Chains A and B, each alone.
Chain A
Amino acid sequence: MWQKKPGHDHDHVDGRTHTHNIHLFNSVTGAEHNIHILLGVDGCPTCGRAYPKNDLGHIDPKAIVDEALAMLRENHAAVLAYAERHNIPVKVGPLHALIPDGHKLHQGMLVPARRQK
């Protein structure tokens, strides 16, 4: 299911670009989705260094992540519902090769198409 990747590497502010980087991943399909919240503007064209914005009070990263997760989970649920409706197993594809070992969940990687009771 879609969730935030654990660890600071996947939820941090890049001080050079003034960007809040958040990495999401789907433990079932291996899919990934990034969220980048720009906290700076007018980056230097040479080095990419950005100047911080003055007003960041209105930005709510948790709400942004929740909104993205809701969208992604909706898409994922649609796929699972389709597989369940037609009794088709969901097989994990080669996308998992791109996921670091520490982020892989070995349970539920192959979701049997069985109706929950």
Chain B
Amino acid sequence: MDIDRFSRRGVLAGLAATAALLPGASMAVQQTRIVSVGGSITETIYFLGRQNLLVGSDTTSSYPDAAKELPKVGYMRNLSVEGVLSLEPTMLLLEEGSGPPVALDSLRSVGLRIEQIADAMTIQGVLDKIQHVAALVDAGPEGEALARSVRLRAQAIGKTVGRVKRRPTVLFLFDVKDGALLTAGRNTAVEAIVGLSGGKLVFDEFEGFRPVTAEAVQHADPDFILLMRHVSDRLGGAEAVAGLPVLSHLRAARDQRVVDVDGLLLLGFGPRTPDAVQTLARRLHGEEAVPALFEPLLPG
């Protein structure tokens, strides 16, 4: 089966190459047109000042506001083949895990250039991601500058966080369904960002995302409850979250230590990750222990 598919792709790539040589098709080759899939990649392109190359993105691309106005080709794991092609892109930039694989194979079979960008869960990963995207959008110097700025900011906040002794425990609330709480464990972006901010996850017995019972949460008794802003908005805001029956008896809920942060900022691992660390660290350790070191990074 694999061999069949491979040869089919070969034939089609040949056809596509022939098509590109035709006089009528040359117009599309002149300018780079990018469909960017994955919030942190889209955001990075804006920070590099190459947003004029973007012709579309996916539904996870929510920053900056202008990115929301781009035509959307679906959720990053459920891309529409014709939807992508209708935007006449010359290159498709994908965050790791985008798909479905069958759609990517179809897109390759019509000769579209597809570039995958590795996921990041460390500051070094973010820097690599920036350099990779910068190379692809022909923004080498801008990429150097952005990476340098991100590195300096990360070092500054890292130093401050390193001085804090106590490491508060955090319960991440991915979602609440039917009274069960979906939370994050080891090897997740949540663990990474909480770790960078000088906290630790209250559940570290398991990997990935798992439902936990209200009793287990009571027993674990976290210092903070962390959730993404769109989840908190859906539940009626941070105060309403603290009032949820499954949470209201917790120490963290009684003392209103419920933190909501924009999902893409918190878990995207893009150029704004030092900002996310600063925001989260100031909530976890107090504004005295962690003073505001820098203004939020803005594109342009």
A associates with B: no
Residues of B within 8 A of A (CB): none
